[in-house]
Structure 1
Amino acid sequence: MTLERIEHRACFGGWQDVYRHASETLACGMNFAVYLPPQAQTQRLPVLYWLSGLTCTEQNFITKAGAQRYATEHGLILVAPDTSPRGEDVADADGYDLGKGAGFYVNATQAPWSKHYRMYDYVVSELPALIEANFPATEARAISGHSMGGHGALIVALKNPGRYRSVSAFSPIVAPTRVPWGERAFTAYLGEDREAWKAWDAAALIADATERLPLLVDQGDADEFLAGQLKPELLQAACAAADHPLELRLQPGYDHSYYFIESFIGEHIAYHAHALKA
């Protein structure tokens, strides 16, 4: 598959690149960002995948999180895809929480969304295959994300035991079947059957998880979406009921912004580096 490099910038001794390719899974052109630390010049390295939130592209994480310095410190490749399919023929909707920029990391089953909106398959299968075939990457993978992307990271790890060494999330939508963001998106993408929605809900998946992969979740207590959309207590209750390991850190004073992510991304990357190199 042909990859077109569209950005190439020196950063902390390595290179922050952005590539474009024709995605077979999504039936459209897609961008993804790759940070290659200096160690990638001489060795193959593990990969941390980052999934961004509503309205974001591949750019938000690479320009706002300050993650590259920590990737260089620990010798990790960082990969950040876009958050949805893109293009003139890709279905869209009014509002920021459905359509372009709001793929929710599910495989849509309902028209017109099902033609392109298969972000789950893209993140789990197509993108890692591209990375591992075209870059000095090992098959050691970790995954993290923010908000909608935190939801994505949790469900991807929970639904694929053994595929990821570690998972973490910032301000994740932990129970999309029970909050307005998820209800709108899931009704459109998946239809009216709420039982079917549970396959894409981290709090629901915990009960049947066959791998006890620890979950690291950071949540700001001043997050404007905390009570209405995020509800971390639902994940906490599910993990307690299933005896699933969860470290939920409620960070005082922090909101939903990238200032929060920037403040703790170094700790998350160190956490993943430890698991990836164990």
Structure 2
Amino acid sequence: MKVLSTSKSHGGIQGVYSHSSEVCACEMTFAVFAPPQAVEGHVPVLWYLSGLTCTHANVMDKGEYRRLAAELGLVIVCPDTSPRGADVPDEKDNWQFGCGAGFYVDATQAPYAKNYRMYSYVAEELPALVAANFPVDMSRQSIFGHSMGGHGALTIALRTPGRFRSCSAFAPIVQPTTAGWSRPALEKYLGSDENSWRAYDATLLIEDGHRYGELLVDQGTADGFLQDGLRPWLLEEACKKAGIALTLRMQEGYDHSYNFISTFMDDHLRWHAARLA
């Protein structure tokens, strides 16, 4: 693991790191905020998964999480959203696919299967690296994310229900198998057999019997992607049928940006901290 930068903030340390990923077959970068309590012992860890076009840096620079994370004693880990590098296949003119748009799936189709394995990277490889190098209590983990990252957080939590004590999302893509901005990516990564897509769709995972104790979702009513891409009412319907406790908060006038995320970041951090205690 390489240390790219560290900076003191609110008594803790915001760091950016990289490592050679076996899973993604390239160099991967991620950010970790370690609160001041981490000096004294292992503390809970909260994973944040970012959305389309983002890297680890977007939430680090605009998410406004460090003050309260320091107060609550939470490590915040922010992975990248995809593999990157000259040898990684990409569609540079398509912001909904390729670099910056890994969709937290394990690709099975050439030429993407070699690198685009973000599900295994976030669920397995990066947690092992973080556990070995940072003072985290891996028995106390939670996960949240935004948009594509909200989709990732929901699907990873549903597929590994014993791992995370809580899961929340900002404006998640709740049914990527039918959303216009995600269906083409799933087909390129996973092939034309749509049954293989179900493992990466929160609503279909619930339909197929996966369960989670409770979920928190915030969604802005002025989000330009609300009707065609996000559609939180589909998650609400699936959770109601399955008996999953979902708190869906429609936030009047908010859009899809980090102005929205940063406004409600404290709510999510406190919600997770209460369940990580």
Q: Shorter-chain TM-score: which interval? A: over 0.9
Paired amino acid for 2:119: Y
Paired with 2:207 and 2:47, the residues of 1 have a C-alpha distance of: 25
Paired with 1:208 and 1:274, the residues of 2 have a C-alpha distance of: 29
Show CA shifts across 1:217-246 (max 9, x none): 000000000001001111111111111111
Q: Secondary structure at the match of 1:116?
A: coil
* Residue of structure 2 in register with 1:203 after alignment: 203
The count of corresponding residues between Structure 1 and Structure 2 is: 275
Paired with 2:209 and 2:44, the residues of 1 have a C-alpha distance of: 24
The question of whether the paired residues in 2 share the 8 Å contact of 1:50 and 1:145 is answered with yes
Paired with 2:190 and 2:269, the residues of 1 have a C-alpha distance of: 33
Q: Tell me by how many angstroms 1:210 deviates.
A: 4.5
The question of whether the paired residues in 2 share the 8 Å contact of 1:206 and 1:244 is answered with no
Identity of aligned residues (%): 54
Q: Secondary structure at the match of 2:164?
A: coil
Paired with 1:199 and 1:212, the residues of 2 have a C-alpha distance of: 15
* Residue range with higher mean Cα deviation, 100-109 or 206-215: 206-215
* Residue of structure 2 in register with 1:263 after alignment: 263
Q: Give the unaligned 5+ runs of structure 2.
A: none
Q: Give the unaligned 5+ runs of structure 1.
A: none
The question of whether the paired residues in 1 share the 8 Å contact of 2:219 and 2:248 is answered with yes
Show CA shifts across 1:52-97 (max 9, x none): 0000000001100100111111100000010000110001013100
* Residue of structure 1 in register with 2:135 after alignment: 136
Paired with 1:182 and 1:155, the residues of 2 have a C-alpha distance of: 14
Paired amino acid for 2:270: A
| TM superposition score normalised by structure 1 | 0.97
Show CA shifts across 1:188-241 (max 9, x none): 000111121111100111123454321100000000000010011111111111
Paired amino acid for 2:14: Q
* Residue of structure 2 in register with 1:13 after alignment: 11
Paired with 2:99 and 2:61, the residues of 1 have a C-alpha distance of: 20
Paired amino acid for 1:272: H
Residue 187 (str. 1) matches residue 179 (str. 2): no
Q: Secondary structure at the match of 1:87?
A: coil
* Residue of structure 2 in register with 1:64 after alignment: 62
* Residue of structure 1 in register with 2:223 after alignment: 223
Distance 1:45 1:256, change over 3 A: same
Matched ranges for 1:1-278 at <5 A: 3-93=1-91, 94-139=93-138, 140-277=140-277
| TM superposition score normalised by structure 2 | 0.98
Paired with 1:119 and 1:126, the residues of 2 have a C-alpha distance of: 10
